[in-house]
Structure 1
């Protein structure tokens, strides 16, 4: 039953948004409608490109969407309607990051939302005006609801996926400039996070999630049962075409037009004789342990499954920290290979707080100026380059300005080199 529920969940997610619906209109209806009745003039906001006129082109609220329609966006302090009897009718809405609020004069106006992300932006702006912003600090990005945007970027280093609360989640890629928010949408990573935090805790077995690439986007190949499909890496939607799907009982994923060997971290799983697979060692371990649990239930045993099931990252790997036979932790890449000699021995503080974030960032960076990592792969609290030093947080993001004297930094301590 659990497998059926998982199958239905993934199937609905991947194809629901791709199946459109609408009213079929008679050929020539719009031409006759426009000629006979005409279209009203849309608001000018969508056509005027300046700070006081913005909007969004949408299908018109007319039969068959025959006319153009512009939904105006109202800026700060512009009048708006809260809705309700006698309050007027909105022909637009407050722009992204703003909400309609009642004013003491009795009117309603668009005001900037009071959110954690907006407060972080305000703090940045205040420090910037005082000259207290570091050269590698970046103003927080907020979405249209005032929450943290889907990625956070560090100049010259990387961008990583985050939740609306600014919590870092799976997904990291080299920071290639201004286009990163569009290239790295983190849709798969955010879906994985929602599933594992809202659904997985209440069920006895891991819930199957779409597979992601290392940057948090959807892997171009997704499988439901024995059938694999090519999908849009941003939306996860199925792509049409005979060459965009295969039946694993007959063909491997390498036959698909969207197959990219660079994205296949486990090509050995795609080789051999039919029936083929699109899996990983971590996924296989889950299947094996799940079968043990199912067998124990059938045999009348009450097996403690919560402490025995493996956990896989969204890309199907076992994690970025591996445990050696002697109990030592090491940092590994997406293919499970060690990253340099970063390690931590059991029973040490380095072992307990090891996260390998600096090791992983350095591993994927394209720049020659790499951050300095601690022995366990964490970011060293103080980073230095070209004669100046600055403080960073656990994610490697600069905090505060630079200084030529390390001792003047807020994060300085005498053992700063031996992190």
Structure 2
């Protein structure tokens, strides 16, 4: 809880300290960056406050990726295709990477117990028992439903804050933002901001200072369009 309060407090301080005014780019002199000269990924208007074109370094597997969106500044690098930033190690890892050996596949064990109990009762589970939903590595899926409510949970099956939704409104609920936020806070690090909806999904946009852009279901920037926070309704996400 203390980590959460610290993270929220820092977010408020940073949001007040970093402001991109409408004329912020008037005095900025941009370096000559083009797709031909960029040694990496060319991002139009990808610099601070969306003033200048920029280049992003494309990181290989195992490379450090902890500098992404630190304290409101645009990231200068991103993991390459097929890779993602592991928020525990801050290294680029394969998206199909097997679960770490130090963790216990608690959902797989709970699911086996559920099936065993069902078998002992002639194919019927105990009254009130809910079949756990597990991922391919044996951990709990981010969304778990019981009765008329679906909640976001950690890999170990613990509820994450108060991210939930009625089951009839949970079809598109993936809890990716809630899960990423939880795992990041578990590391004890601060500086990364998460824009989650009440059901634990990522919002369709995020803002760095006063500049906003579209993001995908994993919180990654989509497209190149940026707008001032005052023109957020003009952002086509």
CA shift, 1:323, in A, is 1.4
The reply to whether residue 280 of structure 1 matches residue 100 of structure 2 is: no
The correspondence for 1:397, drawn from 220, 229, 232, is: 220
The correspondence for 1:334, drawn from 143, 155, 163, is: 155
Conservation of the 8 A alpha-carbon contact between 1:281 and 1:317: yes
Report Cα offsets for 1:322-350 as digits up to 9, x if no partner. Answer: 2133x2111111232211111111222xx
The reply to whether residue 173 of structure 1 matches residue 87 of structure 2 is: yes
The 3 A distance-change label for structure 1 pair 190 and 329 is same
The 3 A distance-change label for structure 1 pair 380 and 286 is same
The correspondence for 2:144, drawn from 292, 300, 322, is: 322
Q: Distance in 2 between matches of 1:380 and 1:288?
A: 35
Residue aligning to 1:190:
96
Higher RCO, Cα 8 Å, sep 6+:
2
Q: Could you say what the CA RMSD is over the residues aligned between the two structures, in angstroms?
A: 4.7
Residues 42-57 of structure 1: matches in 2 within 5 Å? none
The correspondence for 1:312, drawn from 134, 148, 160, is: 134
Query: Where does structure 2 lack aligned partners over 5 or more consecutive residues?
Result: 1-37, 124-130
1:190 aligned counterpart, secondary structure: coil
Larger radius of gyration: 1
The 3 A distance-change label for structure 1 pair 329 and 401 is same
2:141 aligned counterpart, secondary structure: coil
The correspondence for 2:168, drawn from 319, 340, 347, is: 347
Q: Distance in 2 between matches of 1:357 and 1:152?
A: 22
The reply to whether residue 383 of structure 1 matches residue 206 of structure 2 is: yes
Conservation of the 8 A alpha-carbon contact between 1:321 and 1:330: yes
Residue aligning to 1:361:
180
- How high is the TM-score relative to the length of structure 1? 0.33
Q: Distance in 2 between matches of 1:383 and 1:339?
A: 21
CA shift, 1:374, in A, is 0.7
Q: Distance in 2 between matches of 1:384 and 1:338?
A: 27
The 3 A distance-change label for structure 1 pair 122 and 329 is farther
Q: Distance in 1 between matches of 2:109 and 2:78?
A: 24
Conservation of the 8 A alpha-carbon contact between 1:339 and 1:359: yes
Figure out how many residues of one structure are paired with residues of the other and give that number: 177
1:335 aligned counterpart, secondary structure: coil
1:352 aligned counterpart, secondary structure: coil
Q: Distance in 1 between matches of 2:179 and 2:114?
A: 29
Q: Distance in 1 between matches of 2:234 and 2:64?
A: 27
The correspondence for 2:235, drawn from 397, 409, 418, is: 409
The 3 A distance-change label for structure 1 pair 371 and 161 is same
Conservation of the 8 A alpha-carbon contact between 1:141 and 1:152: no
2:179 aligned counterpart, secondary structure: helix
Conservation of the 8 A alpha-carbon contact between 2:59 and 2:78: no
The 3 A distance-change label for structure 1 pair 285 and 363 is closer
Q: Distance in 2 between matches of 1:151 and 1:377?
A: 28
Report Cα offsets for 1:206-250 as digits up to 9, x if no partner. Answer: xxxxxx23xxxxx1xxxxxxxxxxxxxxxxxxxxxxxxxxxxxxx
Q: Distance in 1 between matches of 2:225 and 2:135?
A: 35
The 3 A distance-change label for structure 1 pair 286 and 381 is same
Report Cα offsets for 1:353-401 as digits up to 9, x if no partner. Answer: 1111111222233224422211111111121232221211111012225
